[in-house]
């Protein structure tokens, strides 16, 4: 965990850790894991709200809890940039992390694989591997997606690859 900023570290320590090592094919154990995932997500969302640092919405898109959809946003120069967020829980979960996708940014940055999957290889995958099975979706968002947005969005905005929705609307009108 060297190299991480103190606020991320302190946030991380407050997200409840998970204990059940189970994937979507493990029946009752997966239901148990899903409960833990929800607890961690609820705690993390509450914490973000109370710290005035709310930055994502995510909910299961199917009853099995294997597909998740929602959105996330990042504030840069006082403007809020919002993106759809989606991912599948892989069959080998939690040995392998979910691959977080921002489909609207597909093809706009090199730090992304086909289909809008954000690149987590260097900053996140080793941490996930080390902490299996204690890390869950909430940890992936906190340690995978949040730093990615913080690193990429300012560059994408400054280089003109993405525009704020108000700018995009006004330029479309003109």
29 token code pair: 């154990």
- What mask, x for binding another protein by CB under 8 A, covers residues 124 to 143? -xx--xxxxxx---------
Distance CA 61, CA 76 (A): 29
- CB neighbour list of residue 99: distance below 8 Å, 6 or more residues apart: 87, 88, 90, 113, 117, 120
Query: Shortest gap between Cβ of 83 and another protein (angstroms)?
Result: 16
In the bound state with another protein, the residue whose beta carbon lies nearer, of 44 and 81, is 44
Q: Which residues of 108-137 are buried (b: 16+ CB within 10 A; e: fewer)?
A: ebebbeeebbbbbeeebeebbeebebbbbb
Measured from the CB atom, is 8 or 96 closer to another protein?
Answer: 96
Active site residues: 119
Q: Which residues bind another protein (CB under 8 A)?
A: 13, 16-17, 19, 21, 24-25, 31-32, 34-36, 38-39, 41-42, 45-46, 49, 57-60, 64, 66, 70, 88-92, 95-96, 99, 110-114, 119, 121-122, 125-126, 129-134
């Amino acid at each position: 965990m060297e190299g991480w900023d103190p606020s991320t570290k302190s946030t991380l320590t407050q997200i409840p850790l998970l204990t059940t090592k189970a994937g979507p094919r493990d029946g009752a154990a997966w239901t148990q894991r899903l409960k833990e995932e929800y607890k961690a997500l609820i705690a993390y969302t509450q914490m973000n709200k109370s710290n005035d640092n709310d930055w994502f919405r995510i909910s299961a898109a199917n009853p099995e809890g294997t597909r998740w959809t929602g959105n996330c946003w990042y504030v840069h120069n006082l403007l809020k940039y919002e993106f759809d967020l989606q991912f599948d829980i892989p069959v080998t979960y939690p040995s392998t992390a979910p691959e977080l996708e921002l489909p609207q940014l597909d093809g706009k940055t090199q730090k992304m694989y086909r289909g809008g999957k954000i690149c987590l290889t260097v900053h996140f995958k080793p941490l996930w591997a080390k902490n299996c099975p204690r890390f869950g979706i909430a940890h992936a968002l906190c340690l995978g997606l949040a730093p990615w947005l913080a690193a990429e969005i300012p560059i994408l905005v400054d280089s003109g690859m993405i525009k704020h929705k108000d700018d995009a609307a006004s330029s479309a009108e003109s």
